[in-house]
Amino acid sequence: MSEPTVQRDELQSAIEARKELGAELEPALVDSFVERIEQRLVERDEQRDKDLTRKRIHQKEMVLGSMALGIPLMAIAAIFTGLAGVIAVSAAIVLVAIVTAR
């Protein structure tokens, strides 16, 4: 079940509980419902932060790895193919950086 549907169901339950319990307990019901929504928002923000951190770490590892592999490849390309090989290896490193940035 999707999150908006769950929230809608919880809101409907809170409204039904208010009808059964009366107006004197309404502030407690509203506070409880708002607290659950706020908790979900905090959890969602924490998950986004974790995902962003994981993505940045992966991006950094990929770029540094391609650069580390690029050093011997560039030397080999310079020896055997000259400038064209160096340009090809450099382009591959740039391509890895661009792809991991997306």
CA distance readout (Å), 85 to 5, 27, 66, 97, 99: 57, 72, 16, 19, 21
Rounded average pLDDT over 77-85: 91
Supply the pLDDT for residue 29. 74
Query: What is the per-residue pLDDT across 30-73, written as a single tens digit (0 to 9) for each?
Result: 788 788 889 989 999 999 999 999 989 988 898 888 889 889 99
Nearest residue to 77 via CA among 91, 65, 64: 91
> Residue 8: which pLDDT band, with cuts at 50, 70 and 90?
confident
pTM of the model: 0.57
